Amino acid sequence: MARSRIYEEICSERRDVNTRVLEQVVSLAVEIAREGREGRKIGTLFVVGDSGEVMRRSKPMILDPLQGHPDEDKYIDDPNTRETIKELAQLDGAFVVSNAGVVLSAARYIDAASDSLNVPLGLGSRHMAGASISQQTDAVAVVVSESSMVRMFDDGELVTEIVPELWMIEGYRSRVEGQTLTRRDDEVAVISRAD
């Protein structure tokens, strides 16, 4: 199955975010999961859409390295921005991406409320923050774990896992609850809820 078709399915119109922007974020997240940085695996969190509310429910962990730069230099589809994000992903905290595709902020602490969340056991605080912010806002969270997994949360629930193909060959067991669909291309396998 072609990669564009896979992304088209997981970045569908049913999400309250710009599908083109979400596809760019998921693509970048997969790159980060596969490549890591400087020979080591890294994890990060992207929060896409409803950026005003996300900014209100988060705060900078350090001085924001993206603050003060013009929006035209921070579009997610710009190769320079993507390389900058890969470098900044080594820092703790989340990236906030607007529906217009502008990476508004980096290294943000997302206020996470864990009551009423149903996050699978074994997933860490980055996943909890992604689930929480997607439940509290109209944003979608894309989490890259240090184990090279990419997970998407919408409405507080894990809705998609993107798994390196090798893990599928070894029989990886998905944490997505309920009936699922699995799709593959040459580089990734995607497991999504069958809604």
Q: CATH number, domain at 58?
A: 3.40.1700.10
Q: Is residue 174 part of a domain?
A: no
Could you tell me the pTM of the whole model? 0.84
Q: Is residue 165 part of a domain?
A: no
Give the best-scoring range by mean pLDDT among 18-27, 37-46, 65-74, 165-174.
65-74
Interval 75-87 mean pLDDT:
95
Total structural domains within the chain:
1
Q: Residue 88 contacts by C-beta under 8 Å, 6 or more apart in sequence?
A: 65, 66, 95, 106, 107
Q: Is residue 70 part of a domain?
A: yes
Q: Is residue 173 part of a domain?
A: no
Range of the domain at 150: 3-157
When mean pLDDT is compared across 2-11, 66-75, 138-147, the lowest value belongs to 2-11
Q: Is residue 185 part of a domain?
A: no
Residue 26 exposed, middle or buried by CB count within 10 Å (0-12, 13-18, 19+)? buried
Q: Is residue 183 part of a domain?
A: no
Q: Is residue 16 part of a domain?
A: yes
Interval 113-140 mean pLDDT:
87
Interval 164-185 mean pLDDT:
59
Q: Is residue 125 part of a domain?
A: yes
When mean pLDDT is compared across 102-106, 120-124, 149-153, the lowest value belongs to 120-124
pLDDT in tens, 19-61: 899 989 998 998 899 888 888 899 999 999 999 999 999 999 9
Q: What is the 3-state secondary structure (H, E, C) of 85-97?
A: HHHHCCCCCEEEE
Contact status, residue 177 vs residue 188, Cβ threshold 8 Å: no
pLDDT at 168: 44
